[in-house]
Amino acid sequence: MGGITRRSLLKGAFSALVPLTLPSAARSAPGLRAGTSRPRVVEVEGPVEEALARLLEELGGIGRFVRPGETVLVKPNMSFPYPPERAVTTDPGLVRAMVLQCLEAGASTVLVADHPMRAAGPCVDLTGMKKACAGLRHVHLIAATREGMFRRVRVPGGTVLRETKVLRAALDADVLINLPRMKSHGATTVSLGLKGNMGLIWDRRCFHGRLDLDQALGDLNKVIRARLTVLDGSRVLTAGGPTGPGPVLDLGCLIGGTDPVAVDAYAVERVAWYGKRMEADRIPHLRTCHARGLGEIDTTRMEIVRRRVSVS
Amino acid sequence: MNRKAPDPPSPPVKTRRLKWAVQATCFVLFLVLFGSMGLVPPGRLPHRLLLDLDPLVSLAGLAGTRLLWVPALALLAATFLWGRIFCGYVCPLGFLVDLADRFLAGPRRRWQGRGRDAPAGSTGLSPGAGLNAVRWALLALVGLGLLLKEGLPLVLDPIGLVTRTFAVVFYPLWVWTADGLLALVGPLAERAGWYGIAYRSYDLPGFQAALGSLLLLLLVLAMGLFSPRLWCRSFCPLGALLGLVGRWGPWRRRVSSACTRCGLCRSACPMGAIGEDPARTLRTACIRCETCRETCPEEAVSFGWGTAGADRALPLSEGLSRRGFMATLGLGGTVMVLGGLDPRVRKARGRRLRPPGAIPEPDFLASCIRCGACLRVCMTHTLQASGLEGGLAAWGTPVHDMRVAGCEQQCNLCGQVCPTGAIRSLPLVERQHAKIGTAVLVRERCLAWAFDRVCLRCDEACPYNAIVFRTLSGRRRPVVDPSRCNGCGMCEAACPVEGEAAILVYPIGEVRMREGSYREVLRRRRIDLVPKKDRLEDRPRGSGEGRWGRGSGAPGSGLGPGHGEEPP
């Protein structure tokens, strides 16, 4: 499969620029942009730092996503107080590498934020996030735990979710970069980029109780859309998620792209979950998101780029 | 403290100022050590310093598992040399009592109508002397309680009392204030780019025994309405013990021949420690505040080493009414015994869950001084002080409220701060095997079972993968695998059902031991909660019946050899 062609580069640059010219409301929900054919999904195998650099390169460079002076919100998974070896939270090395990339691109502020499921203190410590963000200027670690940190937003066209409270910083940031761990999930089979966005809202209980989880995820992803999604597949929890413990597969790769559904869909088919290979459209929330026009689910209609890097 | 009472005769005021300064310093030290508990790791600062110094706490440690004698012996040695200096200069409760006494001085005078120097009681000591027997009875009760394994009298230990009150009353108020202010300035701070402030928050702790604790403290402080330091001279069991130890020491009060027997010192003494003959001292009461020296217009009073020219001690029995002693001992003993016989205390009820590492219940009740240190450091606030619903004898002891939050499995702070080892200090792996109980799923209330919803919050929350699935009518329904359940309660806290959760932790299978390895015990029960990378593979196939169920896109039961398989 091909590398970067001039055509694809131009197309990518165009699709990145178009939303910038639109008012921010339309930018945050560019579901209509799915007309861009063949979304590019990049998989890079190798140590996280080098792999991330290469992955961004394949997507047109970090400058395509972050422009000087912008506020970036990087959303890793730091919901559980476990070390990255358990493969339930994002690798702190990857988070730091991403933050450095953003700073290099001229970001004025980089926020690393999540709404932890467990006690915030141990979460930021034991996941290594505190250390990952330590000593960096203009970088702030946010473990959001108070309702006041979230702002109510309406979900236009939401089928089950009419409104929800989203982390203020995520709404106000210029760029949202989703950096979830690739892992299994008892209720949604996989927890990748689309499911990871639940870490930016306040009330998650209703997703399970009152609402249909898969439909609600479709609605949620209409309001929260990352400009870039990079899945941490350095280790993959293939069963027993989202908390673990479970079997950890040392996949050793990152999977990224701008189409969140495509990235997730590719990742679903990349490994065996719960000991089984499956197609992306067997995952209900992916199907829902695809049906809402949020992205491509068919891997044959993606431009897949696979690269391998080694330590320089 | 800067409110200086006008002292009509003005000999050197030095000691009084020094006393306030030392007291305030010690109090601030207490606040700093206490406040940093849970923020600064226990190894880094002696958070429990005052509790460790307290010999009654060390005694309780005999019933518990922490034998820390050095600080307590040091205090006893100092007390032998200098008398009750701890009460006069160090004790945080003593400081609060002194503060309250200042505020209450006006009402006290008006109330009693007769001024400060009213002699009362047959003993010739100042007001409140008739109650002196109470502290001896309370001290005896503490000792008796240790023998009978009843820890209730320890509730009155002053250091425990003040620590508890700060843990469950003042600390929550402080957090509430701080968090409220942060919430207020948050949006502004965010606009200014101060994300550190904008997104800082503190979990609001709230404790069910808060009002009871506050009442007890207010009761102690309100005693100042009758007489200054009434708690310290007549009720405090620690004061009684220290007074006893300090009675024969070499540092003494002495009264020179310049004494005119005017009686000013006697009425000024906050502890009522001076006899009708001012040269006689009730040494078990004297806290070395030297008020007498400062009050004496003739400068006839001094303090110093040696017996030559020293005061004569009033007999131990001075001001002691046998009736008062017996009445208190009888009443207190009755309350203690009846409280202990309460079936709610003797036999675990419903869902009384003790923190991981809590020693067997009788020892636990005997050694827990209800100081609230564990409540203070508990990062999820699942630990609550037992109210009266658990029986009076268990009042103030830590219990889990899993609906508030689950027990964080990566945290072992409660055991680290417990001053008596009622909760053992355990390494993380051991602590994770100190089984609190077992979760029981109530199908009638469960969203997945009774309402056919896709809800797997319990599974999502479980740190041990103890929730497994069974497929029924095409839907996956959660089931608890008891062989993996630690009883941490994450599931109960996460359950989205309103009101009582559909999954509840009961003390079924809890492990309570004074010594030995929890992991070993669980291993014998075939429970191993340590996550293993390949643990799913080393379980016999098919044993996890329907573990990941079938419906809604999730693949079939059991695990093929497939994970780890290379992609095509």
pLDDT tens per residue across span B408-444: 988 999 999 999 999 999 999 899 999 999 999 999 9
Q: What confidence tens digit (pLDDT) does each residue in B252-294 have?
A: 888 888 889 888 998 888 888 888 888 888 888 999 998 899 8
CA distance A130 to B206: 28
Q: What region, left, alpha or beta, does residue B402 occupy, with left being phi > 0 and alpha being psi -120 to 50 degrees?
A: alpha
Stated as kind and residue range, the H or E segment containing B212 is helix B210-222
Tell which residue, B426, B430, B419, B512, has the closest CA to residue B66.
B419
Residues of chain A with pLDDT below 50 are 1-2, 18-35
Whether the pLDDT of residue B122 is over 80: the answer is no
Whether residues A187 and B548 touch (CB distance < 8 A) is answered with no
pLDDT band of B320, cuts 50, 70, 90: confident
Q: What is the pLDDT of residue B319?
A: 67
Confidence (pLDDT) at A190: 94
* pLDDT of B222 over the 80 cut: yes
Coil, helix or strand for B133? helix
What are B491's two structure tokens?
């599931």
Mean pLDDT of B380-390: 90
- Alpha-carbon gap: B464 to the closest alpha carbon of chain A (Å): 6
B565 near A CB under 8 A: yes
Query: How wide is the angle at C-alpha B323 spanned by C-alphas B317 and B326, nearest 5°?
Result: 95
Residues 167-196 in B contacting A (C-alpha not used; CB under 8 Å): 179, 183, 186-187, 190, 193, 195-196
A109 CB neighbours in chain B (<8 A) are 193, 195
Q: Is B190 in contact with A214 (Cβ distance < 8 A)?
A: no
- Please check the confidence at residue B1 and state whether its pLDDT lies above 50: no
**Confidence at residue B216, expressed as pLDDT on a 0 to 100 scale:** 95
The neighbouring-strand residues paired with B440 are: B504
Burial A237-276 (b: 16+ CB within 10 A, else e): bbbbbbbbbbbbbebbbbbbbbbbbbbbbbbbbbbbbbbb
Q: How many angstroms separate the CA atoms of A174 and A154, rounded?
A: 19
Instruction: Say if A242 is an interface residue toward chain B (CB within 8 Å).
Output: yes
CA angle B425, B428, B429 (to 5 degrees): 120
* Calpha distance B413→B375 (Å, rounded): 10
Cis amide linkage into residue B12, ω under 30° from 0: no
The tens digit of pLDDT for each residue in B491-506 reads 999 998 989 999 999 9
Amino acid at B382: T
- Interface contact B536, partner A, CB < 8 A: yes
- Tell me what pLDDT residue A245 has: 87
Cα B216 to Cα A135: distance, rounded to the nearest angstrom: 47
What is the pLDDT at residue A211? 74
The token duo for B321 is: 């009414």
Phi, psi of B330 (to 5 degrees): -65, -50
Mean pLDDT of B472-478: 86
Mean pLDDT of chain B: 84
Q: How confident is the model at residue B202 (pLDDT cuts 50, 70, 90)?
A: confident
Of the candidates B195, B454, B534, the beta carbon closest to that of A142 is on B195
Nearest to A244 among B455, B531, B553 (CB): B531
Query: Rounded to an integer, what distance in angstroms lies between the CA atom of residue A201 and that of residue B257?
Result: 80
Q: Are B441 and B448 in contact (CB under 8 A)?
A: no
The answer to whether A271 contacts chain B (CB < 8 Å) is yes
Residues in contact with B208: Cβ distance below 8 Å, sequence separation at least 6, in sequence order: B384, B385, B386, B387, B401
Residue in A144, A209, A242 nearest the CB of B455? A209
Looking at residue B317, what DSSP letter applies? T
The confidence score (pLDDT) of residue B354 equals: 95
Q: pLDDT at residue B82 above 80?
A: yes
Q: What's the pTM?
A: 0.82
Q: How far are the Cα atoms of A86, A241, B567 from residue A184, in angstroms, in the given order?
A: 12, 5, 17
- Say if residue B13's pLDDT is above 60: no
HSE-up of residue B332 (Cα within 13 Å, Cβ side): 28
Burial of B448 (0-12, 13-18, 19+ CB in 10 A): buried
Enumerate long-range contacts of B323-327, CB under 8 Å, 24 or more apart: B323/B133, B324/B130, B324/B131, B324/B132, B324/B133, B324/B134, B324/B137, B325/B133, B325/B134, B325/B136, B325/B137, B326/B137, B327/B137
Decide which of B122 and B136 is more confident.
B136
Question: What mean pLDDT comes out for the span B455-483?
Answer: 88
Two structure tokens written together for A120: 């915030």
Who wins on pLDDT, B7 or B536?
A: B7
Closest by Cβ to A189, choosing from B195, B469, B553: B553
- Residues B129/B271, Cβ–Cβ less than 8 Å: no
Q: Are B442 and B504 in contact (CB under 8 A)?
A: yes
Residues on chain A touching B460 (C-beta within 8 angstroms): 117, 185-187, 242-243
**Separation in Å, CA B26 to CA B72, B95, B168:** 17, 9, 21
A-chain residue closest to B566, CA distance: A271
Is B500 an interface residue toward A (CB < 8 Å)?
no
Residue B350 confidence (pLDDT):
73
* DSSP-assigned letter for residue B177: H
Give percent above pLDDT 90 in chain B.
45
Measured between alpha carbons, how far is A179 from B325 in angstroms, rounded to an integer? 70
Between residues B425 and B453, the one the model is more confident about: B425
Residue B112 has pLDDT above 80, yes or no: no
Q: Give the tens place of pLDDT for each residue, B503-549.
A: 999 999 999 999 999 999 998 988 877 755 444 433 333 333 332 22
In this prediction the ipTM stands at 0.77
Q: Are B453 and A145 in contact (CB < 8 Å)?
A: no
Element at B384 (helix H, strand E): strand B383-385
- The mean per-residue pLDDT over the stretch B46-61 comes to 92
Type of residue numbered A255 = I
Spatial separation of the C-alpha atoms in residues B46 and B24, rounded to whole Å: 19
| Nearest of A93, A92, A134, A138 to residue A111 by alpha carbon | A138
Strand stretches in chain A, DSSP E: 40-45, 71-76, 109-114, 139-143, 150-154, 163-167, 175-179, 181-185, 189-191, 228-237, 248-249, 253-257, 303-308
Nearest to B496 among A86, A149, A205 (CB): A205
The residue that leads in pLDDT, B519 or B309, is: B519
Residues near B446 by Cβ (< 8 Å), separated by ≥ 6? Answer: B455, B477, B478, B497, B502, B503
Reported as a pLDDT band with limits 50, 70 and 90, residue B562 is: very low
B 339-398 → A contacts, CB under 8 A:
379-380
User: Which residues in chain A touch residue B199, judged by CB atoms under 8 angstroms apart?
Assistant: 113, 140, 142-144, 149, 169
pLDDT score of B125? 46
